[in-house]
A and B are shown apart, each in its own frame.
Chain A
Amino acid sequence: MALTRLTSPFSPDTARALHAGDQVLLSGRIVTARDQAHKYLASGGKPPVDLEGLVIYHCGPVTVRQGDTWRVTAAGPTTSMREEPYEARVIRTHHPGAIMGKGGMGEATRAALRSEGCVYLHLTGGAAAFIAGRIAAVEEVHLLEFGRPEAMWVLKVEDLPALVTMDAHGRSLHSDIEHASQDILQRLLNTPFSS
């Protein structure tokens, strides 16, 4: 498996060089956005930071205030599919380098990744303490009125391992697995069971 070092923000050409199944080590500046932030951005809200080339991370971290700064104690991914109604518009308007989360996304996002040169990065759900350990700093926080989990946190990450599961060429590992498991499910539903 190819292992690529990736520094956020990055260009669409960098994204297009990646393929589903590639492992990356992500460093640089990323920004969290989940349900409220996506609804806000997709309905024309002005992003508090320039999103071009940045990794948008579907995450609502656990945070502790320490004087003027913040400490993140847990920061795993949330289910990306909830942002499916908004993500294509966010990608086409703001041109992020990647969307990062868990569980994969749907057809509208897949089309936007392809047309804009963007990828979907997958992290292990629940690996919150491990991922928090790769966060070197909390740089900024915006839209705290959405509540801490829903605010947009600008984070500096170092060597965060992630897997490309949807690429800019139309491939989605999630969709591959779903189709394969659907065939198996049909066979199992037709198998008699008695106890």
Chain B
Amino acid sequence: MTNETHLLNSVTELMEKASTMLPDDVHAALSRALEREPEGSIARDTLETILKSARISRERGLPLCQDTGVPLIIVRIFPGPAMFAVESAVREGLRRLTEKGVLRQNCVDPVTGRNTGDNIGAHVPQIHFLPAREATSIGVMFKGGGSENVSTQYALPHAGLGADRDLNGVRKCVLDAVFQAQGKGCSPGILGVCIGGDRASGYLIAKEALFRRLDEANPSPVLAELEEAVVEQANSLGIGPMGLGGSTTLLGARVASAGRHPACYFVTVSYSCWATRRARIELDDEGRISRWL
């Protein structure tokens, strides 16, 4: 039986860790990138500042970025009343962390222009429940506004890019998205890409693809090859960390695919900044964290 206090503590700890601690795979990728950039270059200085700031955040429990993002919560759970408890815990956890200065007030009513002040508003937070038979797991991602603004969706064929409805066309869209973003998405970034789907599912699947760790291979060899090619080519653009030049523009690309309508071929690119914030936990029967995923 889920204990509501345990659940609230677990969810709050999950979100606090996600906002303040850079995932170890992202940290490792940034450290490797730093070694590639020449001594004394702006790119190396920038990566040093990034790693220094991430260390301060981790040590002092401070947000990795002042833009603490918009929460996306993915819950895998056996359908039942515990779903209501999870929803309440997420909302209360968001309020507490906002009060504590771990999260910024990032929810504005677009009609009145007023900031709700506690990260709760119409359709916010987004909590997606998926049915599961095994233990409950909760994943959270806090994605910032700057990186959302440079995320984009293409409909193929695309005459301007000479992009047809094939993987070469996908590659062209992805490179264009990286070019358009320049440093504005806080490069070096990580791309979540969805090939196919519809206008709505494309963005969600692209964002969810960012949950896959950088050291976890794509189960599809074809998509794995595409990921490798776009990262290598994007890094040859010379945009570099924060768009100030250098050979590290992307840390990785995570490509997923979804069935498409015969008339539609969407390529959706969800750009995540270097400060990619995501974390997942599994819960025991009482709502305590049994392990970090």
Contacts and interface: CB of A to CB of B under 8 A. Distances in A.
Given A128-B57, A148-B117, 13 more contacts: A64-B101, A73-B63, A74-B64, A74-B66, A79-B146, A102-B186, A104-B243, A124-B53, A127-B53, A128-B65, A129-B56, A177-B183, A189-B162
A149 B53 contact: no
Of listed A1, A64, A73, residue having the most chain B CB within 10 A = A73
Interface in A147-177: 147-150, 161, 163, 165, 173-174, 177
A132 interface: yes
Nearest first, the 8 closest Cβ-Cβ pairs linking A and B are A147-B115, A130-B53, A125-B186, A64-B101, A74-B66, A127-B53, A129-B56, A126-B275
26 contacts: A59-B66, A60-B104, A62-B104, A74-B68, A76-B65, A78-B145, A79-B146, A82-B149, A103-B242, A103-B243, A124-B46, A124-B50, A124-B53, A124-B241, A125-B186, A126-B50, A128-B64, A129-B60, A131-B53, A147-B114, A147-B115, A147-B117, A149-B105, A163-B244, A177-B182, A193-B171
Interface string A49-76: 0000000000111111000000101111
A163 to B, nearest CB: 7
Contact of A73 (B42, B101, B105, B225): B101
Interface string B51-65: 011101100101111
Nearest to A191: B233
B217 interface: no
Interface in A63-111: 63-64, 71, 73-76, 78-79, 81-82, 102-104
Nearest to B167: A195
Report, as a range, how many residues of chain A touch the other chain: 35 or more
Interface string B84-121: 00000000000000001111111010000111010000
Report, as a range, how many residues of chain B touch the other chain: 35 or more
Interface in B117-153: 117, 145-146, 149
A150 B115 contact: yes
